[in-house]
Each structure stands twice: as C-alpha cells, then as structure tokens.
Chain A
Amino acid sequence: MKQLLLKLEPVIWLLFGQGILVGTMLLTGWLLVVGLALPLGLLPAGALDHTRALELGSNAIGRLVLLALIALPLWKGAHHLRSLSIDFGGGARDAAVATLLYGLASLGSLLALVAIARL
C-alpha cells in the first residue's frame, strides 16, 4: 500500500494543488451567493431556479465547473487531513489514514461524474 501511495503522490499533489488554486477561486463566488446573497434575500428572483440552474449546469463548461467544485475540494481536504494526521504523530498509521481519505475523495469524484452525467 505504501509503495502504491508513493507512486500516486505526484497525481495526488497535483489534484490537491488545483483543489486549492482552482477550487478556492470557484468556491468563493459560490459561497458568496449561497452563503450570503441567498439567505439575505439578495438573490434576484428566478436567478437560481431549477430551469436556469440546470441550463447553466448542463452545458459543457457548467459540467466542468461542477466537476471542479466537487472533486477538487475533496482532494484538497483529503490531503490536508492526512497531513494533519501526520503532524500529530501519525507516521505509523499514515498508510491506513491515507487510504481511507483518498478512498473517500476517489469515491466522491466517481459519484461526481455520475451526478454530472445525470444532468
């Protein structure tokens, strides 16, 4: 398992790095809208109703954006939590923790593909 993890590290690091870079840039806008505008009632009527949201989400770029919004934060999250585990004396359990966390991220990414295909 450790050898497999070593082999996959470059890819994981790339996904994690993009999770921070691209993920952060996309998430800010999303969170401003659903976290601030929506509850404060600032969202224009119909802007995010199902028809329009589906239109936005189901075109090619929309699908890519959704994929980025789901998968990239998952990989960033998984990698950082693994790091946190190591910081707190987790050298010995690292292989198990990494498998669990990256497994979660992989599962989420797969489900993301399914969810996007359904649109």
Chain B
Amino acid sequence: MSDVERKTFVVTRFDPDRDEVPKTQSYEVPCQPDWKILDALNFIKDHIDASLSHRWSCRMAVCGSCGMNVNGEPKLTCKVPISDYSDTIEVAPLSNFPVIRDLVVELEGFLEKLEAVKPFILRAKELSLDEGTTRQTPEELEEFKQFSMCINCMLCYAACPVVANEPEFLGPAAIALGHRYSLDTRDEGAAVRSEIFRGEGTVFSCSYANECSEVCPKNVDPAAAVNQAKFNSVIDWATRLVLPRGGEK
C-alpha cells in the first residue's frame, strides 16, 4: 500500500450536551489516492473516532445528504476527491445552517421553505381518469426540466449571501422548485406562486450573486430560476393591477 498518503483532516466537532461552542479536532488519515472526502470521514468514524457524526447515503451525488464545507466551500463530500486538496483539509458543517451536532445541520428550516412554495401540480379542478393522460411535448418538458434536477443538497443555501443575512428569504432551491412547477404546462398555480414569491420570503431579496449556481453539483442553475421568477412575478403583479381578481382561474 505504498500509494497511501497521510492527510490531516481538521473537522468541526460540536456536542450540544458538552460543548458551549463548536471546536475543531484534527485526525491523521491514511488515504487511498482515489478517495473522496467522504471516504476519509467514514474512515475516521470507523477506525479512529466513532463519536463523529455526519450525514451520507448514496455515495454517488444523487441523494444530497453529504453536503459540507470543505476548506470553506460547500461541496458534496462524496463527489470531491481528496486529490483536489493538499495535506491539510478542513471539514465543517454547511454554512448558514444551525448545527445539531458535529457536521450535521438542522434541515427543518429548509423543509419549511420548500413547503411554502407549494411544490406540486396545482389545478383548479383535478382531471378525471376518463380524460386520459396529460400530454406534454418534449419542448414543454425542456422548459422546466433543468429545475427539476435539484437533489435538495442545500449547497446553494450555504453559498448564498442573502440566505446568510435574511432569515425569511425562501432561498435558491425552494424558489427553483416553485418555479419548476409554475413552468410545468400541467400546472395552473403560477399566479398563486407568484404571490408567494412576493410575500415574506420575497424572491426580490435575491441580489443575483450567482453563487448558488456556481456551487450546484447538478447544474440546476437556481440563479436562473430565481431571476426568471422575479420577471414572472412582475408580470403577474402588473397584470393584477390591470385585471380584476376574477380574471384568474
């Protein structure tokens, strides 16, 4: 095993029962050259310190569980090779989230924002089964497909300067998901969501830093979704000024 390289991982630790504030702990890990950060974390847990807590699941960047800050940048730890880094690597919990323990962050706030955008097909009247399947052309699918690829890994929330400073802001992933449904031709809820987008968590808080799209591991481009949503919201708002409420479905 001559290609084993020893690297030092400086990992944030926090035990709510024992620690006032989070602190760091260093581990020397013998790494295989093709390891990802997650492999090293699992090695630490399996062989060095069983008390380390971290989330992970699929090991192939589709579940969104293993998001963490690696050297200060939000990454999927199962996707990032250790060879991208030098001998000392810092692993910390995702920015902008309350921390439950070690590298595990509180998800509830994110889930509440997701729920708030009504991320499902909204129809005034459900179609009956007799009417058959709803038809959608490939072009219509293309309009929203990119925004449906989100794996809810929350790296975008860690990267966003507005999320860091405005607790009510809905955030990139939630807005992208809401926008995905508004763009879906099967959906009739665009107006409802436009109003949500102008409410407390307003999409207009977004300052187009574009960091969310830079860190997104699935090329969802949430920044595009949020700014398209702004545009649509303005059109909806202007239309409402002119048309009476009864004009909507």
Contacts and interface: CB of A to CB of B under 8 A. Distances in A.
Co-complex (A, B): yes
Interface of A: 6, 9-10, 12-14, 83, 86-87, 89-91, 94
Contact of A9 (B166, B202, B207, B238): B202
B166 to A, nearest CB: 5
B207 A14 contact: no
Nearest to A84: B207
Nearest to A91: B165
Contacts of B237: 10
| Residue with the highest number of chain B CB atoms closer than 10 Å, among A12, A83, A90 | A83
A83 B207 contact: yes
Given A6-B199, A10-B234, A86 B204 contact: no
A86 B165 CA distance: 6
A87 B166 CA distance: 9
A48 B216 CA distance: 51
A87 B165 contact: yes
* Closest CB pairs A-B (n = 4): A9-B204, A83-B207, A91-B165, A10-B234
Contacts of A12: 204
Contacts of A91: 165-167
Contacts of A6: 198-200, 202
A10 B198 contact: yes
Interface size class of B (residues with CB under 8 A): 10 to 19
B222 to A, nearest CB: 18
Contact of B204 (A10, A87, A89, A90): A10
A60 to B, nearest CB: 25
Contact of B166 (A10, A13, A86): A86
Interface string B186-220: 00000000000011101011010000000000000
A47 B165 CA distance: 50
B243 to A, nearest CB: 16
Interface centre among B167, B202, B204 (most CB of A within 10 A): B204
Nearest to A79: B207
Given A9-B202, A10-B233, 9 more contacts: A6-B198, A6-B200, A6-B202, A10-B204, A10-B238, A83-B207, A86-B162, A86-B165, A90-B165
A94 B233 CA distance: 22
A52 to B, nearest CB: 39
Contacts of B233: 10
A87 B202 contact: no
